[in-house]
Structure 1
Amino acid sequence: MERLDLINIFGEAVLEGNAALFVGAGLSLDAGVPTWSDLLAELRGDCEVPEELTDLPLVAEYIDADVRHGGRDRLEHHILDLIVAANPTPTESHLLIPKLRVKEIWTTNYDELIEQAVPAAAVAIEEPDIQSIGSAKATIIKMHGSVVTAERRWAKQPVITRSDYESYEVDRPRTWSLLRAAYLSRTFLFLGFSFTDPNIEILLRLARTLGTHVHDRHMTVLRRPAEQTTQRRLHDLRVNDLESSGVRVLQIDDFDEIVPLLNDLVRRTRPPRIFISGSQNPGADGGEPNRDVIVPWCQAVANVLIGETGWELTSLGGPAGWDVTSSVALARRAEATYDPNALTFHFRAKEDAPPPMEMRVGTAVYTDLAREQLVGSLLDECRAMLVIRGGQRTAEEIAWAQDRGVGIIPIAASGGAARDYWLAHAGAPPMLGGQPVQATTWANLDSDQHAVAARAAYELLKQAMYRY
């Protein structure tokens, strides 16, 4: 499947409250957690299990059976010691997980990285925990056991041997039944798996036994082998196997692509909301403030936004935010499409009174947050930022938006901070909505014709909204 297809399908499932994430060992490797092979290597040598055996759960089975070298007890202690010694901390991939707003996070990992990244989530480890899963907050379901690093112990013994896998349905019927039910009713994204990971068996088993009922619903991201070898051919066969069973596969060339993908998913799963920034204040070009400078640009932008009733507009109620939003509101009132909840103005209650409004439109929200906190909290819930002129404060808001990966669309011809940002990216326009920006569209943002610049901004807003 294509990258953008995955972003849109899973993103829409998240917004509908019908998405689940299944995290495999791949996300923990960058944090320093040992691989399956590393976990078993020393004991494998002691127990003289041949290297030719590539079935790692079966390797663990033979280590478990070798009581001369400690058997199961040594196996569990050895794995625990290696994970604790690694002292892993959450990576950027882990820290992006809570921003995806997914309510169910499944994992076969033993480490506590997901719990550390999503501290507000409930954690289900034991079978009775399954009964307490609700929809009020996110839940991490740890299928294969979990370590308690600080106490150097297992919260639940690991699923590691071939026998553990084969008896899973009997030993943990509630967990397996819930996974089957979720697979049939939700849209899953399997992340951090590879065909060398023994836990890929879970995905393959679900796909083969339940795939005919959920065709094309679920997705996974897999790294393809670099060269055309026997392994590449085997990889292609396995991919075809998954896709024929209803799991679409996004193939990547390097694991470095995971973080940008997650960042795009975070943006896609935000509300379809635009933060409007800007004012009549001059930027580096100097001059006296004159509100008339921005009014034509605001009106042109409002004209292209009137029909987008599914998009929300938010601002601090400054000149650009007020002029655009109020114009949209008046037109929607006339067309009977007006919704005040979709047009919001945010004011800090401890400041001076907000600027006088010529009419009552939209929804006013008052807060005690400092400006940077307020703007940051708003941008965290926006996919795009529209900038019209503006000065130093607008430039600060642009920087805060960049830090949060918000797509920025500047009306360059309006001058000020908007033009400064546009000029800084004139040679290489930034990506929007996970896709490159056409140079001609970016250039038209600097058109002296208001309608042309507004139409260019509209095209880029659609891209930032992931609407193609």
Structure 2
Amino acid sequence: MDLALLEEKLSSYGGSGYYLFESFIIKILQAEATSRGQTLIYHSGNNIAAYDAVAPEGFGDIPGPVAIEIVRSLSPNRIAKELQRHISLSQDGASSLLLISIGSYPVDAKALIAKNFPSAKNIVLWGQNEIQALINRHPQVSAEVADNLFSNRFRVALEGKYEDWKEQRKTVISAIRENYMSGRFSMLLGAGVSSSAGLPDWDTLLNSLFVSMLTEDGVGGKNADPDQISSIVKRLRQIDGPSALMLARYIRKGIAADSQSEQGKFIKAVTEQLYGLRNKKYSISSPLIKSIANLCAPSRTGAKVKSVLTYNFDDLLEREIKARGLSYRSIFEEVDLASPEELPIYHVHGFLPENRDEYQNINKATLVFSEEGYHQIYREAYHWSNLIQLNSLKETSCLMVGLSLTDPNLRRLLEISAKSIDKPKHFAFMKRITYESFSTEGEKPAVRAPSGLVKRFLDRHHKLNEGVLRELGVNIIWYEQYEEIPTLLQSISKGV
């Protein structure tokens, strides 16, 4: 089997091709270790500080324990970075380091190591020649894995070493803090942030707009009962439920046509419903919004958050930032720029502040409310919101809060930005499914299976999610209760 042909095949898979190749190499390394009576322990998912694999008793002729790291290519800077990292992790007991480069590495790499890291011992570099030699020693395993690349990728994810997710989360938070302190850090905010302050979720907003539209149209006569209309809307969505984007388009056409004046009517209707439906039992300055503002506040050494990108329409973060006397600029159109002293808050899907009079040119904001808005962004590769998102994803480490990561455009941009990296550099909070919430519905059992089987299934489900998002360059920060997120954010800013 020829390594060059495999590389050519994997290049057609885009950003995920690297992770398929990495999984292929893991399996070949495992075959080599087994043939020599050695053990190979490999990791998967959120490998922030861990190595890709460890061989406790040694690997081949390399004395153990051996830490194994697989990278795209080894430049002098990357070699120095990996050696510094290896030295800092030496308490893990790995005395040797095997660096495997899928691409090339400098011909004078060993001389550079000897000169700059004289105390580093048993540092071994492998490139394409060594990988090909390994393939040649295990042709049957290599052929089998190469023919089943995708299933092998998930098999590696599932068979990798399981770590306690709460302990693993501490390592992830530590990595986020390191990126935060560097100043090359951005935040991406989704609907969960607004919901923490009682604003309606997407479905509630759409249903309310739908009921409002039908009531104003006189569907039920002059004395129509909104509750009756609401029950009709609920049943319609059950029987013939369109996607949220399709329904949003339907509502947009129902409330306003294409004239400028009627567009204003539509924006006014959405704004009124957005803030009018807010659940007042929640503080408008929620603990989550406060913790986000804390991260945005400059320290004595300067600002740590380079920018905030929000997919929400509201201005709740701006209110909290303003109340603290911090300098910021809400950006919702292409021509606007923040000054060096201002924190840019990009509203990439549009901006609907409760008081529109406070913002100039607010009528120029593109509102990505329904299919038309999404189609515009998909159609225009150089739309300003796409460029802002892609630049942040490529140039900074991004922390995503309140995002489900199901938006197809965001996933597309993540995949583009992940093409040139071999380790995820972004982070996203994701809610973990507990055994209790999964196995019961109310007081009744929801599944007919032994608890052990259900727990193993959930472990695998979470592990696969880690692997899928890793291919998009994202590490998961698991949580079980929403109330945990502000505390976790505080640990990033305070280092505790």
Cα RMSD for the two superposed structures:
3.3
Alignment of 1:6-405 (within 5 A): 6-44=172-210, 50-51=237-238, 53=241, 55-66=243-254, 75-85=266-276, 86=278, 89-100=284-295, 101-119=304-322, 120-129=327-336, 132-151=337-356, 156-168=365-377, 170=380, 173-194=383-404, 200-214=407-421, 215-225=423-433, 226-227=437-438, 239-268=466-495
User: By how many angstroms is 1:97 displaced?
Assistant: 2.1
Matched residue SS, 2:335: helix
Give, as a single letter, the amino acid of the residue that structure 1 aligns with 2:244.
L
User: By how many angstroms is 1:219 displaced?
Assistant: 0.9
CA contact under 8 A between 2:245 and 2:371: conserved in structure 1? yes
Give, as a single letter, the amino acid of the residue that structure 2 aligns with 1:20.
S
- Distance of 1:235 and 1:77 partners within structure 2: 41
- Post-superposition CA distance 1:330-372 (Å, at most 9, x none): xxxxxxxxxxxxxxxxxxxxxxxxxxxxxxxxxxxxxxxxxxx
User: By how many angstroms is 1:68 displaced?
Assistant: 8.8
- Distance of 1:183 and 1:69 partners within structure 2: 36
The aligned length equals 264
Describe the shift of the 1:16–1:68 C-alpha distance in structure 2 as closer, same or farther (beyond 3 A). closer
Give, as a single letter, the amino acid of the residue that structure 2 aligns with 1:210.
S
Give, as a single letter, the amino acid of the residue that structure 2 aligns with 1:126.
E
- Distance of 1:89 and 1:97 partners within structure 2: 14
1:4 is the counterpart of 2:170: yes
- Post-superposition CA distance 1:374-408 (Å, at most 9, x none): xxxxxxxxxxxxxxxxxxxxxxxxxxxxxxxxxxx
Describe the shift of the 1:54–1:238 C-alpha distance in structure 2 as closer, same or farther (beyond 3 A). farther
Give, as a single letter, the amino acid of the residue that structure 2 aligns with 1:264.
S
CA contact under 8 A between 1:103 and 1:135: conserved in structure 2? no
CA contact under 8 A between 1:63 and 1:72: conserved in structure 2? no
Give, as a single letter, the amino acid of the residue that structure 2 aligns with 1:247.
V
- Distance of 2:306 and 2:288 partners within structure 1: 17
TM-score normalised by the chain length of structure 1: 0.50
- Distance of 1:37 and 1:262 partners within structure 2: 28
- Distance of 1:175 and 1:203 partners within structure 2: 11
Alignment of 1:442-461 (within 5 A): none
User: By how many angstroms is 1:105 displaced?
Assistant: 0.7
Give, as a single letter, the amino acid of the residue that structure 2 aligns with 1:57.
L
Q: Give the unaligned 5+ runs of structure 1.
A: 269-432, 434-468
In percent, how many aligned pairs have the same letter?
20
User: By how many angstroms is 1:237 displaced?
Assistant: 5.8
Describe the shift of the 1:187–1:92 C-alpha distance in structure 2 as closer, same or farther (beyond 3 A). same
- Distance of 1:244 and 1:267 partners within structure 2: 30
CA contact under 8 A between 1:63 and 1:75: conserved in structure 2? no
- Post-superposition CA distance 1:104-134 (Å, at most 9, x none): 01101111111112222122121111xx235
Q: Give the unaligned 5+ runs of structure 2.
A: 1-45, 47-167, 215-232, 296-303, 440-445, 448-456
Matched residue SS, 1:60: helix
CA contact under 8 A between 1:216 and 1:247: conserved in structure 2? yes
Matched residue SS, 1:227: helix
User: By how many angstroms is 1:65 displaced?
Assistant: 3.3
User: By how many angstroms is 1:174 displaced?
Assistant: 2.4
- Distance of 2:307 and 2:290 partners within structure 1: 16
Matched residue SS, 1:147: coil
Describe the shift of the 1:4–1:236 C-alpha distance in structure 2 as closer, same or farther (beyond 3 A). closer
Describe the shift of the 1:118–1:252 C-alpha distance in structure 2 as closer, same or farther (beyond 3 A). same
- Post-superposition CA distance 1:162-187 (Å, at most 9, x none): 22012125397223212212211110
- Distance of 2:256 and 2:403 partners within structure 1: 34
